[in-house]
Amino acid sequence: MKVGVFMVLFAQRAFEEALDYVKETGCGAVEIGTGAYPGNAHCDPAALLEDAGARDRFKQAVESRGLEISALSCHGNPLHPNADQAQADDRAFRDTVRLAAEIGVGTVITFSGCPGDSDTAQKPNWVTCPWPPDFSEILEWQWAERVTPYWSEAAAFAKQHGVRVAIELHPGFVAYHTGSFLRLRKIGRDTLGVNFDPSHLFWQGMDPLVCARELGDAIFHVHMKDTWLDQANIRRNGVLDTKSYTDEKHRSWIFRTVGYGHGAEFWRALISELRLAGYDGSLSIEHEDSLLSINEGFTKAVDFLKQSVLTEQPGAVWWA
């Protein structure tokens, strides 16, 4: 395994300057945004696909520093009921898949997407309860009319290019927990896996250790991000929280740098579960901690993970 970072954290820096900084901290891998929600500050797939020389320079900038690209990330909503947004996010996804194939990156990360409630919808509709029956009807319509047709074709497209798609399980989208992802995987089969991000599981009441064990070899990539659960606010309001992420005192939970929501014992157990699942890739730091600066949040995460990451293959069980 290697400690890595999701480079959107440094979108305001020039690409090579950001790579130098990442290398200096001791990271070994970078995850690079290529469009949709993460933006494409460091990597514009459409431009690179048109210019072989630019592609070579892009790869060389990473490899010459002893780094590797763990994934290209284009988290978007290709199922958005607004056709313009859906088409833009789908285009970002397909360009990213094509670019990944060209430069030898095996994994592309995105969201599953979320449709509206009908052909005339303008906004996504994330269904979280079965009753009144309207919601169950909406959910079945979404999967039958939008999710299945899109991901059947999109997964085939990725497979044709030799690229795996890691779906980040994220509230607001149809695949947000283990069960909804496994339903999606029946459509895309083993081309679809997960970008395993514990921060979105904690607050839903899920145990990431149990989830990692169940998902197993479907874990294609991993984000290292923590969540602080404010038990007083949870007891007051539950966990479905629409307050701003900057209203930290009143929210039921907020994202934190690893180690600031759950201690080393948890993270070491998770890394061990990842090894049991056969995962040996990047532990990609995603910094979304509103209580820490970018620099402090990132460097504290790197230092924390260096104490837990498993960098060597296990030896023979000589004692048994």
Per-residue pLDDT tens digits for 255-266: 999 999 999 999
pLDDT of residue 63: 99
pLDDT in tens, 213-255: 999 999 999 999 999 999 999 999 999 999 999 999 999 999 9
- Per the DSSP assignment, residues forming a β-bridge with 69 are 30
Once rounded to an integer, what is the mean pLDDT over residues 273-292? 98
Q: Is the pTM of this model over 0.85?
A: yes
Q: Which fold has domain 2-306?
A: TIM Barrel (3.20.20)
- Dump the DSSP string for 252-276: SEEEE-TTSSS-HHHHHHHHHHHHH
Confidence grade of residue 80 (pLDDT, cut at 50, 70, 90): very high
Res. 207: pLDDT tops 90: yes
Instruction: Check if the beta carbon of residue 62 is closer than 8 Å to that of residue 55.
Output: no
Confidence grade of residue 300 (pLDDT, cut at 50, 70, 90): very high
The pLDDT mean for the chain works out to 98
Once rounded to an integer, what is the mean pLDDT over residues 86-111? 99
CA angle 86, 87, 88 (to 5 degrees): 95
- The least confident of 180-184, 204-208, 286-290, 313-317 is 313-317
Once rounded to an integer, what is the mean pLDDT over residues 25-39? 98
Confidence grade of residue 51 (pLDDT, cut at 50, 70, 90): very high
Res. 150: pLDDT tops 90: yes
Res. 67: pLDDT tops 90: yes
Res. 320: pLDDT tops 90: no
pLDDT of residue 91: 99
Once rounded to an integer, what is the mean pLDDT over residues 201-222? 99
Instruction: Check if the beta carbon of residue 69 is closer than 8 Å to that of residue 30.
Output: yes
41-60: b (≥16 Cβ within 10 Å) or e:
bbbbbeebeeeeeebeebbe
Residue 45 C-beta-side C-alpha neighbours within 13 Å: 27
Domain ranges of the chain: 2-306
